[in-house]
Structure 1
Amino acid sequence: MVKIAVLQMTSGIDPEANIAAIIVAIRQAAENDAEVLFTPEMSVLLDRDRRRGAQWINEDYEQSIIDELALMSAKWQIDLALGSMAVPFCTGKSANRSHYFRQDNQNPVTYDKIHMFDVDLANGESWRESNAYQPGQEVVTIDGTPLGRLGLTICYDLRFPDLFSALGKLRCDAIAVPAAFTRPTGAAHWHVMLRARAIEAQAFVIAAAQVGRHEDGRETYGHSLVVDPWGEVLLDMGGEGPGLGFCDINLGRIAEVRAQVPSLANARKIPN
């Protein structure tokens, strides 16, 4: 059994306050014997005002955050899956980047969000991530985590089954889906899509989420989830507010599910 911790956040426009909350969660997770802590998308800064937020997106500040969180991971002897933060990219845009810190204080493994949230919702909300963010190009997995092989995704990636099919073919044991889902899309699709992706990839899905009303005016759905390879929801943190949740992961469940329904082994190339 592997115990994990999931941090549900209401991140705001002050990165120092957000980082302080993450550090408190690292300590609390370690004190409760968790081996990995998962945080949401844009844990460090969540701000729709891109001009205001830009002051924090530079290489020096990025490195200071990485150094501090790597130190905390090592100090408390716990791996940290930082859902994502905005970092500078060579094109002049930013990247929405996940960081996985091992407790041995080495450089984190990173993943850049591939799919950009460019949508106009029926409630009047409009989002154009591609105006500010450069899409990632690589599927990323990490071997040797407490959960085995971990696949990395971010939020809107959830809607693209080809990515999860690739992670399933790579035999990921778990997939992280940190998110800041809007309330309308979350209420409609969050639970069903996360359960479907876990079933398709026959892997645990761990989705740390933003929740509530944020300082920049947005509202997020919450309901951080852990789903097992059969599609059973093991943890649902609800949509009321931030908090730290815990879940025990039975990695033996993966082999049981793959033996019962060997869809990964039976998959065939679909002709054009």
Structure 2
Amino acid sequence: MAPSRVIILGVAVATAVGAGYVAKNMATPAPAEATPESVQQEPAISLTEVLVLSADVPMGAPLGGNITWQAWPSDGINDAFITKEQDPNALEELTGALARVPLYSGEPLRRSKLIGEGHSFMSAVLPAGKRAVATQIAADTSAGGFILPNDNVDVIMTRRAPEGSGSASGYVTETILKNIRVLAIDQNMQEDEEGKLVRVGDTATLELTPQQAEIITVAQQMADRLTLALRSVADATEKVDEEADHLLSGSGRRGTVRLIRSGEVTEVGAGK
């Protein structure tokens, strides 16, 4: 076969193949565009407005304007949360409430952490059956100013030894109360000898039983100095079985009255 015919035949075959490919593509319908109805809808997340802290609130401080409504996933809401659906007026009603514990920004608000408006903070945090007693302290008798609310301390009494007791130093030191919780401590800023600001406490309020309250009241009259000794947090649950109840009853004797004059203590019979 002549070369020219071979070339013509090859061109014809190639043209036929190309035409067939084009015809096939033209016959295939273009894919339909996706419409909103054909797209599978993602399930919507149910949201509920919850009352949360918009700023930190220290223990004992009023909430004020530090609370706001915020949308939360309904599945993650605790029964203790305050929701707008159940309590729509909570934002206005709770502005005067006090924080029973420290509260932090972004935290959902719980009524169990609040003290109602008009109620005393100290009486609200005081456990049933306990007494809050204020004790005069100074920087050198309060662990250098490191004692803070909720710390536990021992109360140490130092007083002049009675005449004839044989005390070489002339003073007697005794731990009268152990593992006592500090409810509050009054602190202010003062300058030390180098001009640096330091925190100094004037008064500590202690959580006591009625008998412990009587013990420390007597000790305040007898003592030349009361010292607070800071205890480890690991001792907070330690049970204390002994205290200086002899200051009240004369080493367990009943029917006596203690008379305190100028720091000197004498006991007389209750009928005398």
Q: What's the TM-score bracket when you normalise by the shorter of the two chains?
A: under 0.3
TM-score (norm 2): 0.26
TM-score (norm 1): 0.26
Greater RCO, CA 8 A, separation 6+: 1
